[in-house]
Structure 1
Amino acid sequence: MDPVRRTPARRPTMKDIAQRAGVSESAVSFALNDRPGVSPATRDRVRRVAEQLGWRPSTAARALSGEGAATVGLVLARPAHTLGVESFFLQLVSGIQEVLARRHLGLLFQVVEDLGEECAIYRRWWAERRVDGLLVVDPRLDDPRPALLDELGLPAVVIGALAPGTPAHSGISTVWADDAGAMASIVDHLYGLGHRRILHIAGLPHLAHTQRRVRSLRAEATRRGLPDVHSISTDYSDTEGAEATRRALAQPRPPTAIVYDNDVLAMAGLAVANELGLAVPGDLSLVAWDDSVLCRSAHPALTALVRDTSSFGRHAAEQLLSLLDGNPAREIQDDLPRLMARASTAPPGS
């Protein structure tokens, strides 16, 4: 598919404001910098025009000199309470920062509640010349961000595969791992142990990687003729993970194995199993999607998908630097996560 190419939008300048307001550029400078030399009426008119045009002051001296902001941006649109103990993003940012430091680039990071706020931040950062490029996480179904970034002309790397049908964009690279293949490896492991009732406690349903995992689980279940295999969504928090586990285990035919979409969910599930007096793995097998010190320190240690998340972050940052250096966008498939079988999985009823 040919990349979508658009002419990047042009940032409004003081000259644009001066022409619209019918004043000199020096008057615009005085008004916007709150300096004496213009009347209150002129100051108000200039500020109204600046707001209408979407003008924002540059906050970086490098941008004023035309050298760029020496900063890249990363916005995470997830409920803040779900991030406190999840290790994935900490490791990802660690890898990103390692690469950026080599070029003396800063990382501007912000957490917001939803995608609308994230898009608004992109527009503000662009208008203020805050960042030279962006790292974009959690691709969505019907994701508006690639088209927005293309409109703004901001180089970006999407960490994770875009949803099927998303057009290619000339200034956007992707670095992704095979979620479908990883889920297939989990189902293969559990099926080989003899599990036929498998529950997937997933993350946010609108994320593209969640849907790929859900579809892969369904496909693997259909291929093996397993009717008692399901997915349910959560917000990735321990609270929802525990509640989902508790509901599932209260069913007349509860799952014999549960796959969790992160380590926090899995630890919450292990706590519920202990609370209910269920032996892991004797009564219930548990698998965590991403390995961490939590998985390795649990008793029993949790079977988990292992990958070098810091390396994943490094690869994404390297691709963004490549874009900033003028190289074409690329699609990079990272290493397939490897399932590490530990003491939390065994044949059912063992």
Structure 2
Amino acid sequence: MTPRSQTVTSNRVTMRDIAQQAGVAVTTVSSALHNTGRVSPDLKQRIHDIASQMGYRPKLAARLLRASKTGRLALIMIVGANKGATVISQSGSHGPIIAEFVSACSRMKVGFEIEYLESGKDQVAPECFTGGQADGALICGQVNSPKLAKWFKDNAKQYPCVYLDHVGEYNVWNNTGLGIYNAVQHLAALGHRQFAYLGVDSNYPVHRSGIDEFKRAVADFQLDDQQGQWIKLISKQSGHNREQWIDEQLVNAQSLLTGQNRPTAVIGQGVPDARCMVYAAMEKGLSVPRDLSIITYGMAADAMKSPPCLHCVEPDFSTMVQSALNMLRARLAGEAVAEKSVMVLPQLVERRSVAAVCED
């Protein structure tokens, strides 16, 4: 005998049942239970209470989907307004960081995403997370958007992040200060005693540590910076364009070479600062490095684009990115992270802008 077909009535509570009980749309219930969309806190709490009272349980498939991982990591680049990804990836530290991230993920056989977010733009969340494309990310650049900063903070457990050279709960820093300190020590070992520093007056931690460690090195090695008078910093004003900035820094560089008493060694906070110093020396008929030694902080590739090729304190991007990825993977695995903040020593790349002090 062929068994009769039976209609099985399920007692499982659905979101439609909750919506009818609460007197709202099904989409509102979904938003409240999944923390998506815009639902007032009071209504969200009422919907959760009704769901609990009715014994609502999500479908097993849905629970498994939310618990699943993509196995992919992201690199989120915070870039300036009106700067395209192509331009950013080829300039400054962004290019080396991207290259090291791609290389490290390839070595670890881990899939990856790279996303660009505009600094200061009122964004709510990165697409690599909301689109389910990554489990965690390295963040390069300062998060200026209050909404985006709040999103990262509120979702730190679900989407762990590690910051590169920027403030965050978990971060990896380039130890700029110690790199500058070691550069001064290197020059002092070559007989230099009169030192100057050319840079920008900024509260940005990397810049601040460079200035502070320069001062410490001058004191430790009993060097002469004219009691700080040879530390030339231009103010970081939002109204300055690049041409104005270069003009002002060139004036600072020229002032260091006025008169008989002048520095024999200069630390540039960045490659443009060092180039201003080279140009000022040429105007005075001074030779680099015979009459004036210069070391810059920045990218070694940028430091050799025009003569003379500059000695350069360059961040160790390979170690920085690998350390950040190790920290991120530990967080994703639920392992304890021994150090939430790691400092990586930069390396001195020697080129053609440093020589022993000339005694004549």
- Settle same-fold status: TM greater than 0.5: yes
Match of 1:65 in 2: 65
Out of 200, 203, 207, the residue aligned to residue 206 of structure 1 is: 203
> C-alpha displacement at 1:199, in angstroms?
1.7
Tell me the percent identity.
15
- Which position in structure 2 is the counterpart of 1:96? 101
Distance (whole Å) between structure 1 residues aligned to residue 63 and residue 194 of structure 2? 59
Structure 1 regions of 5+ residues with no counterpart?
1-13, 33-48, 55-61
1:244-259 superposed matches below 5 A = 244-251=248-255, 252=258, 256-259=264-267
CA shift at 1:281, angstroms? 2.2
What is the distance in 1 between the residues matched to 2:213 and 2:173?
16
RMSD of aligned residue pairs (Cα, Å):
4.5
Q: Given residue 99 of structure 1, which amino acid in structure 2 is its aligned partner?
A: A
Q: 1:300 to 1:241 in 2, by over 3 A?
A: farther
What is the distance in 2 between the residues matched to 1:21 and 1:126? Answer: 32
Partners of 2:287 and 2:90 in 1: CA distance = 25
TM-score (ref. length: structure 1): 0.65
CA apart distance, 1:231: 4.9
Contact 1:238/1:264 (8 A) holds in 2 = no
Match of 1:242 among 246, 260, 278: 246
On the 8 A contact 2:254/2:277 being kept in 1, the answer is: no
> Any stretches of 5+ residues in structure 2 without a counterpart?
1-14, 42-61
Give the number of aligned pairs.
Answer: 298
Alpha-carbon distance in structure 1 between the residues aligned to 2:24 and 2:243: 58
| Bigger relative contact order (CA 8 A; separation at least 6) | 1
- What SS does the corresponding residue of 1:65 show, helix, strand or coil? helix
Does 1:160 find its partner at 2:144? no
Partner of 2:348: 339
Three-state SS of the structure 1 residue aligned to 2:203 is coil
Task: Please show how residues 62-211 of structure 1 align to structure 2 within 5 Å.
Answer: 65-66=65-66, 67-69=68-70, 70-78=72-80, 80=83, 83=88, 86-101=91-106, 102-114=108-120, 117=121, 120-122=123-125, 129=132, 131-138=134-141, 149-153=152-156, 154-160=159-165, 162=167, 169=169, 172=170, 174-192=171-189, 193-202=191-200, 205-211=202-208
* Letter in structure 2 aligned against 1:96: F
- Asked whether the 8 Å contact 2:246–2:272 carries over to 1, the reply is no
Instruction: Name which one, 1 or 2, has greater alpha-carbon Rg.
Output: 2
Give 1:188 deviation, angstroms.
Answer: 1.9
Q: In the aligned structure 1, how far is the partner of 2:148 from the partner of 2:203?
A: 14
8 A Cα contact 1:71 1:106, kept in partner: yes
Superposition deviation, residue 91 in structure 1: 1.2
Cα deviations by residue, 1:262-302 (Å, 9 ceiling, x for unpaired): 44554465456546654322443321213423434542221
TM-score (norm 2): 0.64
Q: Distance in 2 between matches of 1:140 and 1:214?
A: 24
Q: Secondary structure at the match of 2:162?
A: strand
* Greater Cα shift, 269-278 or 254-263: 269-278
- The one-letter amino acid of 1:198's match is A
Aligned counterparts of 1:272 and 1:85: Cα–Cα separation in 2 = 28
State the one-letter code of the partner of 1:97.
V
Match of 2:303 in 1: 295
